[in-house]
């Protein structure tokens, strides 16, 4: 069993034992931290997203939904995962539907470029509702600095596949 699958099984067990929303949130946050650190430091294969053509497909899809389904605040396309900060619009479908559509579209298009068939994205995702202004800025900062944290660059502005809405003034 891979490390990620092992942690996913542990997360499911701990979530079943969690009684309150706060306990569930704390467990999800802990799991996200483990997963994110592991991905940043181990760069598990596949590395499809480090290919500029593949990253461009993902980026274009994220921008396509901006103003239609959500307000796009920030994203960072890492070699093996993506960080995304959005606010869903009032009449938009649920977040899971938005993400399913995005993943379905990009999987088909990326697999064409890669000349392959099969699963492109893992089922794992972590979403978090931002409730405080300070938390929003912290998450944006975290998102854009992901390649710095992973040791890939010195300054977030050097990473080609990082986006921050100019309105935020970063």
**Are residue 36 and residue 57 in the same domain, yes or no?**
no
| pLDDT for the residue numbered 80 | 87
CA–CA dist 123, 70 (Å, integer): 21
| pLDDT for the residue numbered 1 | 45
The total number of structural domains that make up the chain: 2
**Are residue 96 and residue 152 in the same domain, yes or no?**
yes
**Are residue 59 and residue 142 in the same domain, yes or no?**
yes
**Are residue 83 and residue 98 in the same domain, yes or no?**
yes
Which residues in the chain come in under a pLDDT of 50?
1
| pLDDT for the residue numbered 164 | 97
CA–CA dist 3, 23 (Å, integer): 23
| pLDDT for the residue numbered 115 | 96
Reported as a single tens digit per residue, the pLDDT across 134-168 is: 889 999 999 999 999 888 999 999 999 999 999 99
Q: Which domain holds residue 10?
A: 1-42
| pLDDT for the residue numbered 22 | 76
List the CATH number of the domain containing 58. 3.30.70.1290
pTM: 0.78
**Are residue 83 and residue 128 in the same domain, yes or no?**
yes
């Amino acid at each position: 069993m891979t490390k990620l699958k092992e942690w996913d099984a542990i997360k499911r067990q701990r979530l079943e034992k969690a009684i309150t929303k706060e306990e569930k949130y704390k467990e999800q946050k802990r799991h996200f931290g483990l997963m994110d650190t592991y991905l940043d430091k181990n760069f598990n294969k596949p590395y499809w997203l480090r290919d500029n053509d593949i990253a461009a497909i993902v980026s274009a899809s994220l921008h396509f939904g901006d103003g239609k389904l959500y307000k796009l605040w920030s994203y960072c396309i890492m070699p093996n995962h993506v960080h995304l900060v959005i606010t869903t619009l009032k009449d938009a479908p649920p977040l899971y539907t938005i993400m399913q559509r995005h993943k379905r579209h990009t999987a088909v298009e990326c697999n064409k470029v890669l000349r392959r068939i099969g699963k492109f994205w893992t089922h794992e995702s972590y979403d978090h509702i931002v409730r405080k202004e300070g938390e929003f800025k912290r998450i944006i900062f975290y998102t854009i600095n992901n390649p710095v944290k992973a040791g890939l660059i010195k300054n977030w502005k050097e990473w080609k596949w990082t986006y921050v809405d100019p309105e935020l003034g970063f």
